[in-house]
Amino acid sequence: MRRSTVILVSIIWLALGGITDGMTQPSRLVYSPHWLPQAQFAGYYVALDQGFYEEAGLDVEIIHPTASDDPAAFLKDGRADIISHFLVSALIARSEGIDLVNVAQLSQHSGMLFVSRKSTEVQTLEDFEGKHVGVWLSGFGEIPRALLQEREIEVQWVPIFGTVNLFLAGGIDIMTVMWYNEYHQLYLSGIDHEEMNTFFLSDYGYNLPEDGLYTLGKTLESRSDEIERFVQATLKGWDYAAENVDYTLQLIVSLMRKQHIPSNMAHQRWMLEKVLELQEYESKSLARTELSLQDFQDTVRILGERGMLDDACDYTVFFQPVHLHSQENHQP
Distance CA 109, CA 228 (A): 23
Fold for 112-204, please state it: D-Maltodextrin-Binding Protein; domain 2 (3.40.190)
Q: What pLDDT score does 324 carry?
A: 54
Give yes or no for a contact between 128 and 174, defined as CB atoms under 8 angstroms apart.
yes
Domain boundaries of the chain, sorted by first residue: 27-109+209-329, 112-204
Query: Which runs of consecutive H residues, i.e. helices, occur in 244-321?
Result: 245-258, 265-278, 293-305, 315-318
Say whether 112-204 and 27-109+209-329 share the same fold: yes
Which is the CATH superfamily of the domain at 27-109+209-329?
Periplasmic binding protein-like II (3.40.190.10)
Instruction: Give this prediction's pTM.
Output: 0.89
> What is the strand order of the sheet 156-160 is part of?
156-160, 132-136, 174-178, 112-117, 196-200
Strands 132-136 and 156-160: parallel
Q: What pLDDT score does 7 carry?
A: 45
**Residue 227 has what DSSP assignment?**
H
293-305 vs 87-95: helix axis angle to the nearest 10?
A: 60
Nearest alpha-carbon partner for 93 in 66, 115, 72, 65: 72
Q: What pLDDT score does 18 carry?
A: 42
Give yes or no for a contact between 278 and 72, defined as CB atoms under 8 angstroms apart.
no
Mean pLDDT by 10 residues, the chain (332 residues): 45 43 78 96 98 98 87 94 96 94 98 98 97 88 93 96 91 97 96 98 96 98 97 98 98 96 95 98 95 96 89 92 59 42
Q: What pLDDT score does 68 carry?
A: 75
Give yes or no for a contact between 176 and 136, defined as CB atoms under 8 angstroms apart.
yes
Burial class from Cβ neighbours inside 10 Å (0-12, 13-18, 19+) for residue 277 reads middle
Q: What pLDDT score does 313 carry?
A: 87
Q: What pLDDT score does 163 carry?
A: 87
Residues 6+ apart with CB under 8 A from 132: 155, 156, 158, 171, 172, 173, 174
Query: Which runs of consecutive H residues, i.e. helices, occur in 96-170?
Result: 142-150, 165-168
Q: What pLDDT score does 326 carry?
A: 47
Single-letter amino acid, residue 262 = P
Residues 6+ apart with CB under 8 A from 47: 53, 60, 233, 234, 236, 237, 240
Give yes or no for a contact between 241 and 272, defined as CB atoms under 8 angstroms apart.
yes
Q: What pLDDT score does 56 carry?
A: 98
Q: What pLDDT score does 161 carry?
A: 80
Give yes or no for a contact between 226 and 152, defined as CB atoms under 8 angstroms apart.
no
